[in-house]
Amino acid sequence: MDALRVYIPKYTTKEAIKVHFDLVFVGFGTVGRGLADLLIEKRSLLEKAYGIKWRVVAISDLKLGSIIDDNGINLAEALRLADSGRNLESLPAKRKGLSALEVIKESSANTIIEVTWTNIVDGEPGYTHVKTALSLGKNVVTTNKGPIALYYRELMDLAKEKGVHLRFKGTVLSGTPAFNLFDGPLSGCSVQSIRGILNGTTNFILTEMEKGADYASALKEAQRLGYAEADPTMDVEGMDAAAKVAILANALLGADIKPGDVKRRGISSITPQDIQNAARRGERIKLIGRAEMNGGKILAEVLPTSLPTSDPLANIMGVTNAITFKTDCLGDVTVVGPGAGRRATGYALLTDLISIARSK
Ligand code: HSE
């Protein structure tokens, strides 16, 4: 990538903030490796434009093993091993074989990248990882929807009490700007309501069904392409979207809800007939997540909704995600972009690290 083509903020000066991230990867699957790719690729840009230096002092992964070295781990070599499915413990390191929790407690890291699997029933093991790291005064960046959707307030309060940062951009729309807009380009603008296509798998299935595919084969294709959750019921029954609605409502509308408080219906009962009937009316069926604060009460729902094709959300096809924010200063603002994928979600973690550096 040509770093010169990257927009470098004008307010970055030679005296730019200097932040040294000593990182731990808790989980080194697709998303963690997406961040690792970008850290290596953008090392020089991060230093020149944002004053960020980084090294990785530990990696812990259930399948790939666990290594700690306070002098730094060779991340390119770790990536090479992980991408070929080989154990990381063949790399030189001071300590090996520790559990994720031991690594969080015993490494010298100041920032934890928590990218273990999503569990929106009790948030584990991510919840314990995030809570432990924050309690020890370490920043956390995560794409893990479970702990954030279930324990947003508790974890944010803990981060505040400890004077560290908890960032979770990648939980909604992966690296596509979403709630982080309101800390940056849309600062000072208030959100009145949120409507969005928050799940790529279901939007892909609905798109394929409109082209004539049947529900089961469209779902199978979404799984083959790697969009769907390990348990695709999470996607098709709207649980994944409900977790994202809860995160958006809590982060942007001052709500205090859990995914279970979101009224929800998925797309498993949508038939090709429903889709054709909508098309005859000049409409499209989309799985829409919605949150709105009304007289101090939160309305939060995920429902298949028939939208007129004049609605920007009706024209979001395939695995793409989108959110329309209704704001006080700009009216409707719609963002459209990827909601999953190695590079897109890795980038969410990178924006979180840059955002921490900038806030220092
Ligand atoms: N299964 C999710 C989706 C992945 O399809 O959108 C991203 O959260």
User: Which of the listed residues 144, 229, 248, 302 should we mutate to test ligand 1's pocket, taking the one with most ligand atoms within 8 A of CB?
Assistant: 229
Atom of ligand 1 nearest to the CA of 232: 1
Does the annotation count 244 as an active-site position?
yes
* Helix (H) or strand (E) segment spanning residue 146: helix 145-162
The alpha carbon of 174 and the centre of ligand 1 are apart by a number of angstroms equal to 9
The alpha carbon of 201 and the centre of ligand 1 are apart by a number of angstroms equal to 6
A 10 A CB-CB count for 209 gives: 21
The alpha carbon of 140 and the centre of ligand 1 are apart by a number of angstroms equal to 21
Domain coordinates in residue numbering, the chain: 19-176+342-359, 186-337
Ligand 1 residue neighbourhood (C-beta within 6 Å): 199-201, 227-229, 235, 240, 339-340
DSSP symbol at 95: E
d(CA 283, CA 272): 14
**Top-level CATH class of 186-337?**
alpha beta
Full pLDDT tens readout for the chain, 360 residues: 444 455 555 545 555 558 999 999 999 999 999 999 999 999 999 999 999 999 999 999 999 999 999 999 999 999 999 999 999 999 999 999 999 999 999 999 999 999 999 999 999 999 999 999 999 999 999 999 999 999 999 999 999 999 999 999 999 999 999 999 999 999 999 999 999 999 999 999 999 999 999 999 999 999 998 889 889 999 999 999 999 999 999 999 999 999 999 999 999 999 999 999 999 999 999 999 999 999 899 999 999 999 999 999 999 999 999 999 999 999 999 999 999 999 999 999 999 999 999 987
Atom of ligand 1 nearest to the CA of 145: 8
Question: What pTM was estimated for this model as a whole?
Answer: 0.94
Give the dihedral of Cα atoms 220, 281, 333, 140; nearest 10 deg.
-20
User: Which of the listed residues 119, 142, 199, 267 should we mutate to test ligand 1's pocket, taking the one with most ligand atoms within 8 A of CB?
Assistant: 199
The alpha carbon of 265 and the centre of ligand 1 are apart by a number of angstroms equal to 16
Determine which one of 42, 244, 258, 297 is catalytic. Answer: 244
DSSP bridge partners of 66:
60
Selection from 268, 265, 214, 274 nearest residue 242 by Cα = 265
CATH assignment, 19-176+342-359: 3.40.50.720
The alpha carbon of 168 and the centre of ligand 1 are apart by a number of angstroms equal to 15
User: If you take atom 7 of ligand 1, which residue's CA is the nearest one?
Assistant: 340
Amino acid code (one letter) for 84: S
Atom of ligand 1 nearest to the CA of 244: 8
